[in-house]
Amino acid sequence: MSQLLDEVFKARSFTNSKGELVKVHSETNRDQCKFLQQIIRDKKASKTIEIGFAFGISTLAITEEVAKNGHRHVVIDRFENTGWHGNGLELLSMAGLSDAIEFYEEYCYIILPELLKQGRKFDFAYVDSTKLFDWLMVDFFYLDKMLEPGGVIVFDDLMFPGIRKLFRYLVQFPHYQLYGVYPENKKITGVRKAVSFLRHLPKSQKYISPEVILDDYKLGINSNCVALEKVGEDERRWDWHKTF
Ligand SMILES: C[S@@+](CC[C@H](N)C(=O)[O-])C[C@H]1O[C@@H](n2cnc3c(N)ncnc32)[C@H](O)[C@@H]1O
């Protein structure tokens, strides 16, 4: 991790080129950034994409890793200038990495189909944007089409119910497997565990929520940040389904 990123984590702020103190929030934390960087190193990823720029913390972490090998990182954020006053771009400029990003200030549902049409491929994707189930399902749909087998897709914020629910589905896709989580997958305790024996009752699937029948811990996703590896092409039958 670069000295600049380290200093931003310590101060949770940086001073932009206009001399304004930018107080960082909503950022990917230091250890999670290290987790992302480790995946990129382990996978030797060179074609990376991210949704959610904001103050540029995860973007800088990813970009500094791929730029070491002369690669550029694609980043999408509809509100970088309007909502975040361009401070993510400022941070990348301070790191001397402005030319190492390909930035789109647009909604992801506009840009992702364009990238697909251009025949772009990726081997690493990080999604840290909206928390809406349907929007993220659409993002995953397009990213999956562009992710190469062996590539890894990482979502932040599984503590949000929409994202957790989405991942209960995605982790069961036959062409994906769990690659890693940050922090660790925590065991489910308490009431949910106590009633889990009910799943053995007849017709339990009809009356008991899928979360009790197959809990998030058993799915391996009871965490905040989850990485899935694409292990092949999507060969599901047209009527494939898993309860989630
Ligand atoms: C939590 S912040 C990202 C934080 C950043 N990853 C970091 O580590 O510093 C979420 C970002 O997603 C952007 N965003 C939300 N919905 C979006 C969408 N549909 N398309 C593109 N960007 C979106 C927001 O403007 C915001 O900057």
What DSSP state is assigned to residue 55? T
- Please give the single-letter amino acid code of residue 191: V
Find the 154 Cα to ligand 1 centroid distance in Å: 14
Shortest-distance Cα residue to atom 20 of ligand 1: 107
Whole-angstrom CA distances from 141 to 1, 147, 176, 226 are 31, 10, 13, 17
Find the 147 Cα to ligand 1 centroid distance in Å: 20
Shortest-distance Cα residue to atom 21 of ligand 1: 77
In 62-139, DSSP assigns E strands to 73-76, 101-104, 122-127
CATH 1.20.1260.10 for domain 3-184+221-230, yes or no, is no
pLDDT digits (tens, 9 = 90+) for 195-215: 667 777 777 777 888 998 889
Mean of the pLDDT values across residues 67-81?
98
Domain residue spans of the chain: 3-184+221-230
Whole-angstrom CA distances from 21 to 11, 16, 77, 84, 199 are 11, 7, 22, 13, 54
Contacts of 190 (CB under 8 A, 6+ apart): none
Q: Is the CB of 135 under 6 A from ligand 1?
A: yes
Q: How confident is the model at residue 94, as a pLDDT?
A: 97
The whole model's pTM is what? Answer: 0.95
pLDDT digits (tens, 9 = 90+) for 138-195: 999 999 999 999 999 999 999 999 999 999 999 999 999 999 999 999 998 876 666 6
Shortest-distance Cα residue to atom 25 of ligand 1: 79
Shortest-distance Cα residue to atom 19 of ligand 1: 107
